């Protein structure tokens, strides 16, 4: 995916990273060949902060903040509208004349195309949301399928309802029936005509592989390049399938804690350390499936609003470090209209962004209690190594031998969070870390 960006250090990092081969030894399945997501997506998504109450004004305000804050210049270009933009009645989603979800005009009075145009005018990309199936109202009305002689009742399996988090009442689609693929095609073409650049399909399980296949096909013939993201908590047993069809896949449930004081646990805190630290194991388990064209999605990056998100500054740096080492999408979930200065400095650290965008997912090489070490080799032969203390109390000294990292002899070390050059380190590197703290280094072997 090509991004229009200022010539910053992050740009240079991406150019260097372009040398990473598109398929690496150990890849267990070919990546999606739709040409999207050569690097992990970066931007903002509405769910964590806006939650169930998105409006046109709110999304435009976040797009304004993404551009004005300078985050856009560091690669954060996606503005993704998640769930609850739709209009519902007592029977589920209201639908248009072709059985597709209708947008709530009270929330989005100018429609989705106008919103996408607004986002694009800022030099940003627009993301949208859907779930598998066909709406009950479409089946009840037996709406026609655009461009065909078929109707909703011809393709719906009314014996089963799909998972949906909003209006519910979504029937399965029987893809053995003529008109089924054409229905999904018509929806994808509608999204393309609105200017959608990124589509998240949510509520996906292994039983929905036919839907994922259908949407993958539909997006390719939609007339617009669209990055395809799957959510959430997908089965690792089907990882080769997700990788062959989509550009990212959520490896776990939501990173949000739903422990805020508002409706449905909304408001601050957005998350907590237990939800973030749970990603260490899933990132390790899924590591082999990440690579250009398809990425392990660890969920939103909850950095931007300081301590009130539910994480200390040390934990937020570890949060960013793990996502970057995993080469995961960097989709902010915070309120960018109230960007914390400490967090802005984190998010505009081009050394960290370069680690994420290098196209290599790190392996965990030490996992002992609260001590973890992750390592990856970049295309220029240097290594990036992250040391973590995942505990919530007490400092801990974390050590790693260069032989564990992948080379012998001494290494020339640079601290990537601070940018300071540490010089030559022989054999073993150690760091004493506060609870939740990380140390991220780049090592050039001196053999």
| Alpha helical stretches, state H, 23-135 | 47-50, 56-68, 111-121
* Active-site hit among 64, 96, 174, 254: 254
Instruction: For the chain, give the mean pLDDT.
Output: 93
DSSP H helices, 47-147, are 47-50, 56-68, 111-121, 136-141
Question: Residue 260 above 70 pLDDT?
Answer: yes
Cβ neighbours of residue 436 closer than 8 Å, sequence gap 6 or more:
273, 311, 312, 314, 315, 318, 389, 390, 391, 392
pLDDT of residue 13: 37
Nearest to 129 by CA among 226, 209, 57: 226
Residue 5 has pLDDT above 90, yes or no: no
- Which of 73, 202, 208, 299 is the catalytic position? 202
- State the DSSP string of 271-295: --HHHHHTHHHHHHHHGGG-BTTBE
Q: What is the pLDDT of residue 29?
A: 62
Condensed to tens digits (0 to 9), the pLDDT of residues 8-45 reads 333 333 333 332 333 333 344 678 889 999 999 999 99
Phi, psi of 36 (to 5 degrees): -100, 165
pLDDT more than 90, % of the chain: 92
SS3 27: coil
Arithmetic mean of pLDDT, 332-345: 98
Query: What's the confidence (pLDDT) of residue 30?
Result: 74
Residue 138 has pLDDT above 80, yes or no: yes
- Percentage of the chain modeled with pLDDT above 70: 94
pLDDT at site 16: 32
Q: Would strands 42-45 and 330-332 be described as parallel, antiparallel, or unpaired?
A: parallel
Sorted by where each starts, the structural domains of the chain and their CATH numbers stand as: 12-358 (3.20.20.70), 366-445 (2.60.40.1180)
Give the tokens for residue 35: 């040409």
For the question of residue 297 being annotated catalytic, the response is no
341-357 residue pLDDT tens: 999 999 999 999 999 99
Active site residue 314: no
User: Is 125 a residue whose pLDDT tops 70?
Assistant: yes
- Under a CB-based contact definition with an 8 Å cutoff, are residues 92 and 366 in contact? no
Q: Model pTM?
A: 0.93
């Amino acid at each position: 995916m090509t991004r229009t960006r200022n010539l910053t250090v992050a740009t240079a990092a991406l150019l260097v990273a372009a040398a990473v081969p598109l398929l690496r030894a150990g890849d267990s399945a070919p990546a999606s060949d739709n040409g999207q997501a050569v690097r992990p997506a970066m931007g903002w998504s509405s769910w964590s902060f806006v939650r169930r109450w998105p409006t046109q004004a709110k999304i435009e305000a976040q797009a304004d903040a993404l551009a004005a804050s300078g985050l856009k210049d560091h690669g954060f270009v996606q503005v993704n509208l998640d769930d609850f933009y739709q209009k519902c009645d007592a029977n589920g989603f209201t639908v248009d004349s072709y059985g597709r979800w209708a947008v709530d005009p009270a929330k989005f009075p100018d429609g989705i195309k106008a919103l996408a145009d607004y986002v694009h005018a800022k030099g940003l990309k627009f993301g949208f949301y859907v779930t598998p199936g066909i709406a009950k109202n479409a089946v009840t009305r037996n709406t026609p399928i655009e461009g065909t002689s078929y109707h909703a009742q011809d393709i719906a399996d009314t014996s089963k309802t799909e998972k949906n988090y909003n209006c519910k009442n979504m029937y399965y689609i029987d893809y053995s029936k003529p008109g089924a693929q054409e229905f999904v095609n018509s929806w994808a073409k509608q999204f393309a005509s609105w200017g959608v650049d990124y589509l998240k399909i949510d509520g996906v399980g292994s039983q929905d592989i036919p839907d994922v296949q259908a949407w993958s096909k539909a997006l390719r013939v939609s007339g617009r390049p669209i990055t395809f993201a799957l959510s959430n908590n997908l089965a690792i047993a089907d990882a080769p399938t997700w990788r062959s069809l989509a550009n990212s896949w959520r490896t776990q449930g939501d990173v949000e804690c739903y422990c805020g004081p508002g409706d449905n646990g909304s408001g601050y805190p957005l998350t907590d350390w237990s939800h973030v630290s749970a990603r260490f194991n899933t990132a390790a388990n899924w590591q082999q499936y990440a690579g250009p064209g398809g990425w392990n999605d660890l969920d939103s990056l909850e950095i931007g609003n300081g301590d009130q998100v539910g994480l200390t500054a040390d934990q937020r740096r570890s949060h960013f470090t793990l996502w970057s080492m995993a080469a995961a999408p960097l989709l902010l979930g915070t309120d960018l209209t109230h960007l914390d200065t400490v967090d802005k400095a984190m998010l505009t650290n081009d050394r960290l962004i370069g680690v994420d965008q290098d196209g290599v997912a790190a392996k965990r090489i030490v996992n002992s209690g609260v001590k973890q070490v992750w390592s990856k080799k970049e295309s220029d032969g240097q290594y990036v190594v992250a040391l973590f203390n995942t505990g919530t109390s007490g400092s801990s000294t974390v050590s790693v031998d260069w032989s564990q990292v992948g080379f012998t002899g001494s290494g020339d070390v640079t601290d990537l969070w601070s940018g300071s050059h540490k010089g030559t380190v022989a054999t073993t590197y150690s760091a004493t870390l506060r609870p939740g703290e990380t140390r991220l280094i780049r090592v050039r072997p001196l053999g």
